[in-house]
Structures are given as C-alpha cells and as structure tokens.
Amino acid sequence: MNARATSTRVRAFALTVIFLLSWGLTTHGKYSATGDEPHYLIVTQSLWADRDLDVSNNYASHGGALFGAAGLEPESHARVARSGKLWPVHDIGVSVLLIPAYAAATRLATVPSDAFLQRFRMNRGLFTYSIISFCVILVVVCAAAITIASLEYSGLSESSAALIVMVLWLAPPVLSHSFLVFPEPFALLVTAWAVLEWTAPPRRFGLREDMFALALGALPWLHRKYTFYAVAILLIIWWRRWRLVDERRRKWVVRAAALFLLPQLASVLWTLHYWGNLAGPMALLMEGIPGLLVDRENGLLWWAPVYALLPAAWWLRRSCVGLWLLPVAALMIPCAAHQWWAGFSPAGRFIVPLIPIFCLVGAVLLKSKTTRYAAIALLIPQLAITAYAWQHPRMLWPQGDGTNRVLSRLLGAIGQTDQWLPSFRTAPDRAWSAAIVWLLIVAALNVALVFGFRERSASSPTPGVGA
C-alpha cells in the first residue's frame, strides 16, 4: 500500500470516529433547541420564509415549533431596533449560513409519518433540528480534516496528526459543541483554514487565498467578539506567508485587504444603522480567565485535563508558533470579560475556535518521552470524563449551581468537589484562593516539563515534528 493510500485511510478513520461519536452524542438525552440555539433558528426561519429580519411574527405564530422549540418567546434575544421592528440581538451570520440546512431539514421532516417519528420519541420539529445538528457536525468534521492536513504539512506523520486531532475533537469543548447551533463550529472551520494557510507550502495566490481573506473578514458577522480575533489572524498570516517581497505579492495583499475589510466595514455600518452604536444590542459583563480554566463547573481543565500542558508546549515552540498567541489573546481576553461561562452551554465554548491552533502548538509534546508520558497521564482521566459524559450528555450543560456532576459521579466518595475546586459563579469571594493554588500547580507542572523536555530531547531527539 503506498503512502498516499495509507494517509487517506488514517484520515478517513479519524474523521469517521469523530463524526460517529459526535452524532451519537445527539441521539441520547441531549437538550434540544435550548438556550441561544432556537433564537438563531427563528432568524433563519424569518430569512427563509419572510425574507426579512423582523421576527415578531415568527415568535407570535410559535414558529419555534417547526424546529422543536414550541412556545419560544423572544425574552432578551430580540429587541426593537431603530426602525421600530423587533430584531434579533444576535449577529446574523450563523442564521444566514444555516439557511440551506434549514430549508433542506424542513422539507425532509415532512417525509416520515408521525407514527414513525414517535417510535423514536421525536416529532417533526425535533427531527428538523436533528438534521440541522447533523449539518453542524459536518462543519466540525471538515475542520478536523483541514487540521489533520495542516499538522501533516508541519511535519507530523499521518497517524500522529490524526491522533492529536482525535484527542482534542473527542473531548470538551469541541465534542460538546460539535452539534450545537452556535457561532463556534463555523469559527472553528475558519481557524482551521487559517492554520492550513500557515503550514501549507508556498503557492501562487489565487481563488483559495481570496476566499480565505473574505471568510476571515466575515467572522464578526458570526459574532462581534471575533472582530479583533480576525484581525490578529490576518496579521500573522501576512507575516508568515504574504510579506511584501515583490510586485505580484503587493497587488495580492491589497486585494486581500479589500476582501477582508469589506465584510468588516459592512458589519460596522449595519450596526450603526440599525442599533445606533458600535457595540450592538449586547455588550456587558465581566469575569476572568481563571474561571474559564479552573472553575468547578465550567473550568476547561476539569473537562479536558490535557490542556494543562499547553503552556509548556507553547514555550517549547515559541520560535515558530509564538505569534499565534496574538489571536488567542484577541479572543480569550474579551470573552473572559464577557460572561466567561458562556451562559447555558457546555464548558469552554468561547475557546472552541482556537482548537486547531492548540493542535499545531501541542504537536511538540510528541517529541519527548517526558511530555508524552505527561500527556498520557492526563489523557486517562480525560477519557473517563469524556466517556461518562458521552453516556450522560445532559451533564455537559451547567446548571449554574457550582456542581460538576460528572466529576461528582466519577469520584464517588471523594466527590465533594466544592471542598477543593473553586466556583467563581456561586462563591466568587472564596474561589480565588483555591484557583491560585491550582494555577500554581499547573505552572509548576509546565516548568518541570520544559526542563524535562530539554534533557530528553537533547539526548534522544525524535524526528517527525516540524516547525
């Protein structure tokens, strides 16, 4: 079997596993059309059926029943705009992208009989929503495929690239958001594309690069929190690949800048016209990155402990991927200051788009026995957490009461996590002392790994992980 066929099979296996486990998570006990999701879909419904963004009639006619959200009310998800019409507060990019999926799903949902759907405890609305979720999963799988290709370009073997992507795609936050109607899956795809542009061999500038610049510029239409993130990614891609070295490249940079700025400018003008400000109808709240990392209920490290190794990985690869800290900071800092727990959604929602970057950075952990053993040690509890959460997906959704139900079930007798894990939502004043202790432990682990990595890699370097 030649190398290309082997690579194709490895990649197909990894993507199939990611798809099946993500799709399987939607088939037993997940919350359907809750939180922000039905409000994105009501906008899609208005765009498809009414050709407008006035959602007052869609709420009034209980349009949410068409996708499993009967009785949906606008609450804080829609406000009266300057035009006097009831408009959605969410940016409309997700709703626009879902129009083809919504149109197909509502049409397909009319095919099975009511009796057939009831056998699977479904109605037409929930079946419509499941088809839309299926389409979102395909977006996430595409992002995985692109990231695997990027890691192979960076010097990893096919199996190593597939393994890294599977580890991070089959754990929160990606797994728990892979089927949700949120901006994150689409932003994940664009970030994976950006990492590909960073790692792929130089080539003539053409349609792919133009489409990338346009897609990157359109990120704020998914959510305005991506404004600075998109700018940061464009800057480091230019620095890496598209610096001004000749006339042909200068012309392309001008064209790419125009393609990037066009949707950005349109977003600004749209917001000014309809809402009368630059922040839009939503802009508030504050908290912090410690909560995003070590909060008892929402902290990423209690759902996917392997992320604790990222600081060491970043330090070890700082010369070749250090610039990627710029978009990470451009996304994490504003999101940590804006309801860092992301409302009624699984842990780590805001960092979902960053996972392809983390894959690129974390590849260095395969170069040393020290870091490989540390990763394996953290993967053991991570696999247990993911496996239990996959069987009980409702536990992925926080209740806001400071309880991590998965850890409590797994730890049994010592499951009183409120004694040794901080909760920034229920006891913020007492949370800081425990949070500082855990962050210091993580810092000490990473310092030890950096020094251990240097000793091992100096004596027995492992080939195959490129810059």
Does residue 427 sit within a domain? yes
Is residue 63 domain-resident?
A: no
- Would 48 be classed as within a structural domain? no
Q: Please check whether residue 125 lies inside any domain of the structure.
A: no
Query: Is the residue at 371 inside a domain?
Result: yes
Q: Which token pair is 258?
A: 């125009």
Residue 392 and residue 409: Cα distance in Å, rounded?
11
Do residues 178 and 348 touch, judged by C-beta distance below 8 A? no
Domain contains 234: no
Identity of residue 222: L
Q: Residue 392: helix, strand or coil by DSSP?
A: coil
What residue numbers bound the domain in which 413 lies?
289-459
| Burial profile 24-39: b = 16 or more Cβ within 10 angstroms, e = fewer | ebbeeebebbebbbbb
Give Cα separations from 222 to 96, 179, 181 (angstroms): 9, 16, 11
User: Rounded to 5, what percent of the chain is helix, strand, coil?
Assistant: 70, 0, 30
Q: Give the total number of structural domains in the chain.
A: 1
pLDDT tens, residue order, the chain (467 aa): 555 666 688 899 999 999 999 998 887 766 566 788 999 999 999 999 999 999 999 999 988 888 888 888 888 888 887 778 898 988 999 999 999 999 999 999 989 888 888 887 788 888 999 999 999 999 999 999 999 999 999 999 999 999 999 999 999 999 999 999 999 999 999 999 999 999 988 766 677 888 999 999 999 999 988 999 999 999 898 887 665 455 556 666 777 778 888 888 888 787 777 766 555 544 334 447 888 899 999 999 999 999 999 999 999 998 888 899 999 999 988 777 667 888 888 989 999 999 999 999 999 998 888 999 999 999 999 999 999 999 888 888 888 888 888 988 888 755 566 678 888 888 887 888 889 999 999 999 999 999 888 644 444 333 334 44
> 133: which residues sit within 8 A by CB, 6+ positions away?
26, 179, 180, 181
Chain center to CA of 158: 23
Residue 374 counted as domain residue: yes
Whose structure tokens read 């994150």?
A: 184
Q: Is the pTM of this model over 0.75?
A: yes
The answer to whether position 342 is within a domain reads yes
